[in-house]
Each structure stands twice: as structure tokens, then as C-alpha cells.
Amino acid sequence: DSNLAKIRIIEQYKTNKCQKEDCKYQKPKASSQQDNLLLYDCFDYHSKGDQRRPVFVKLSKKASNVPLAYSQNVALEILLGQQPNESTQKHCINGYEYLYHPLNYKTVECQLA
């Protein structure tokens, strides 16, 4: 079902460390070089640069709503290139968190096509 696939992407994309030995991104590279690569073609993360935090907060089964761990907005400190602080953690801290946040995912049509 396509809705289940979308939920899986929103929930798990880039939230687990890649364990594939044959993954092309597992080869050692200079970290600054790897951080600049677009790593979209692997479902899991390889460095802090492409890691997402889980967006859904786990609650008891009695809870009726599912709170989000952070907002759909990019943290101002990240946009300004400043050092992250405690407030930063309440917002998206990289592009993957922004693009795959449930309130942002597939909400704007790509203008490049």
C-alpha cells in the first residue's frame, strides 16, 4: 500500500545507521567530502550530515494524538550557520529532517521537472 510506504519513509528514512558492507558510502572518505554528497539513494544514514532524528514521540497506547519531536521549520541557527543550541533541537537541523518531516513531505510540487 502506498500510504504505508509513505509512513515508513517519514518514520524511518535516514534514522538508522547503514549496516550494509557493500554500500558505496561505507568506503572511507574525508568527512568533509562525504558530508557534501547527496546520499539519497541509501535509505539509512552514514554520518551526522545525513542523519535524521525520529520525528514521532513514542507514547502509551492510550494516547489519541502523536506529538512530533521537532517542528517542521529549520532551526534559525542552522540557517545562519551559527552554533546549535538547546533551542535548535526543537526544529529541523538538516535538509533531510526538513524534507521528510510529516508536515512537509510531498507538500510542494518540484519546479525542476
Average of pLDDT values for 38-49? 85
pLDDT of 30 above 60: no
Q: What is the pLDDT of residues 75-90, one digit of tens each?
A: 999 999 999 999 999 9
Residue 84 exposure: Cα atoms within 13 Å on the Cβ side: 11
The whole-number average pLDDT for the span 58-66 is 71
pTM for this predicted structure: 0.81
Measure the CA–CA gap between 13 and 51, rounded to whole angstroms: 9
For the ranges 17-26, 72-81, 84-93, 94-103, which has the lowest average pLDDT?
17-26
Least confident of 25-39, 71-85, 93-107: 25-39
